[in-house]
Amino acid sequence: MYNIFMENKTQVIVVGGGPAGISAAVTVARTGKEVILIERGNFCGSKNVFGGAVYTKPIKEIFPNFEENAPLERNNTKHKYMLLTENEDTTISHSSVDENSNSYTVIRAKFDRWLSEQAKKEGVTIVTQTLVKDLIIKNNRIIGIKTELEDYYADIVILADGVNSLLAKKAGLRNDFKPSDVALGVKEVFKIDSEKINERFNLKENEGCITEIIGYPMNGMLGLGYIYTNKNSVTIGLGVALDELTEKQLKPYELLDKLKLHPSVAPLIKDGELLEYSAHLIPEGGYNKIPQLYGNGVMVVGDAAMLVNNLHWEGTNLAMISGKFAGETAVEAIKMNDFSKNTLKLYKQKLDKSFIIKDLKSYRNLMPTMHKRRNSFTDYYIKKISSFFEMFTSVDGIVKRDKFRNFIKSIFTDRNISELFKDGFAGIKLLWEILK
Ligand SMILES: Cc1cc2nc3c(=O)[nH]c(=O)nc-3n(C[C@H](O)[C@H](O)[C@H](O)COP(=O)(O)OP(=O)(O)OC[C@H]3O[C@@H](n4cnc5c(N)ncnc54)[C@H](O)[C@@H]3O)c2cc1C
């Protein structure tokens, strides 16, 4: 048998054992080609942080029967959008009647480990506790990687090393990101009995609820909060653009503390025992900041390629599908025995045709626009929606017509008319770009 380690040469090396890397590696292994996945953590998933929910359909494209054995927490049948002011909330809630699951909450340390075990069964050689420090470049082509101990060579290297991909930079495929291109996410996990979770979130056994939080305590900043229900724990967290945190000298865990104390949030995690605190960067640059995705002998996938749709908290699905495309492209290149960018451009062609680039392209002006209009969309209108419902639901003997008129008048008195126009124009433009 071909001994990879004696010869230190294989067909494909994948760097990073997150969803992107594992999907790329298993796609290659299924065709009988040699693939080594190198992960710096003790096991795949040990370093991975997210909200979070994973999405059923994209996972099934790679692991069709995952629902039978994967360590899943709850099937998310409820999705809430909570608009918060300091003391109030206005919540829109959607409950699904579809029997097929759309998403599951998972604990990444368990889920990614499970994915990697499946990949191993299908022929991927997984090397853990190994940091890839550099790339080996010869004649303008990536031909291998350097770890602390050894050099390994491959026909193709797939970079799946996450948001802060130093290797993609070394490959000359991307520049340093700007603080406005990433958000800092912080989260805590609280242990709470499953019966209490069901009661507090109005769930049946194994049903889960995703709560997205807009407004307080991130008012006026580009940020979102979230609450996810696991089997016996609840995850609460938020992500805020890094440039905002730096400019305003805010500490994200102080914002998280404020969120936990909100009167509509505190009862949901009451008496929970803190199990875990973690922080991680989230790519936010979107379509405009996608780096060069391939070069001679190399492709970049997942977070390393900025493939995240942040408005929808979609990252793992883009990571897995981009990994699958890179894996398929690697197999094609091996068949053609051509590892130049001329062949590897197939990876980008596959991405361009998929929902990944189409969605990111539609949303390409979302972040720049939200950046400019953040005081309006994450503060002013949230408070206004809250005061509308306060007015609409109060029974106080005041003539309704007068209340409605006063409410409309207040928009024009507390808001400069040109700002209102700019908000309206920005909103319509965004909608047009998404729909066209
Ligand atoms: C707070 C937060 C909440 C989120 N919520 C959601 C959600 O609810 N749903 C969703 O779909 N997405 C969510 N995301 C996004 C999602 O987590 C990412 O998009 C996804 O994990 C990207 O997968 P990946 O494989 O590209 O990268 P990662 O999951 O980051 O994996 C990269 C891997 O590479 C390894 N690595 C890095 N450098 C090296 C090196 N030099 N050598 C060896 N190994 C290396 C790391 O240890 C890691 O295992 C969230 C992210 C954050 C931060």
Residues 191 and 316 grouped into a single domain: no
Cα–ligand 1 centroid distance for 60 (angstroms)? 19
Which atom of ligand 1 lies nearest, measured to the CA of 314? 11
Report the residue among 22, 38, 50 best suited for mutation to probe ligand 1: largest number of ligand atoms under 8 A from its CB: 50
Strands of 315-401 (E only): list them. none
Classify residue 419: in a domain, yes or no: yes
Ligand 1 is surrounded, with C-beta below 6 A, by 15-21, 38-41, 47-54, 131-132, 160-162, 185, 187, 237, 239, 280, 282, 302-304, 308, 313-317, 319
Least Cα distance to 218 among 255, 260, 266, 265 occurs for 255
Residues 25 and 122 grouped into a single domain: yes
Say how many residues make up the chain: 436
Residues 318 and 400 grouped into a single domain: no
DSSP 234-291: EEEEEEEEHHHHHHTT--HHHHHHHHHHSTTTGGGSTTPEEEEEEEEEEE---GGG--
pLDDT of residue 253: 93
Classify residue 86: in a domain, yes or no: no
Number of domains in the chain: 3
Residues 113 and 29 grouped into a single domain: yes
Residues 191 and 164 grouped into a single domain: no
Which atom of ligand 1 lies nearest, measured to the CA of 316? 11
Which atom of ligand 1 lies nearest, measured to the CA of 318? 19
Classify residue 81: in a domain, yes or no: no
pLDDT of residue 286: 93
Which atom of ligand 1 lies nearest, measured to the CA of 237? 1
Domain of 205, in residue numbers: 183-283
Percent of the chain with pLDDT over 90: 85
Residues 296 and 342 grouped into a single domain: yes
Residues 370 and 356 grouped into a single domain: no
Domain endpoint, select from 336, 362, 388: 362
Classify residue 323: in a domain, yes or no: yes
Residues 268 and 187 grouped into a single domain: yes
Classify residue 275: in a domain, yes or no: yes
Domain endpoint, select from 266, 283, 300: 283
Helix, strand, coil percentages for the chain (3-state, nearest 5): 45, 25, 30
Classify residue 82: in a domain, yes or no: no
Give me Rg for the CA atoms of the chain. 24
Residues 197 and 252 grouped into a single domain: yes
Cα–ligand 1 centroid distance for 36 (angstroms)? 19
Which residues in the chain show pLDDT less than 70?
1-7
The model's pTM = 0.94
Cα gap 186→256, rounded to integer Å? 8
Q: What's the CATH number where 21 sits? A: 3.50.50.60
Residues 312 and 431 grouped into a single domain: no
Which atom of ligand 1 lies nearest, measured to the CA of 307? 19
Cα–ligand 1 centroid distance for 316 (angstroms)? 8
Domain endpoint, select from 267, 283, 299: 283
Residues 376 and 293 grouped into a single domain: no
pLDDT of residue 1: 35
Classify residue 305: in a domain, yes or no: yes
Q: What's the CATH number where 250 sits? A: 3.30.9.90
The burial class, CB within 10 Å (0-12 / 13-18 / 19+), for 102 is middle
Classify residue 96: in a domain, yes or no: no
Report the residue among 228, 282, 290 best suited for mutation to probe ligand 1: largest number of ligand atoms under 8 A from its CB: 282
Cα–ligand 1 centroid distance for 268 (angstroms)? 27
Residues 122 and 267 grouped into a single domain: no
Q: What is the DSSP letter of 384?
A: H
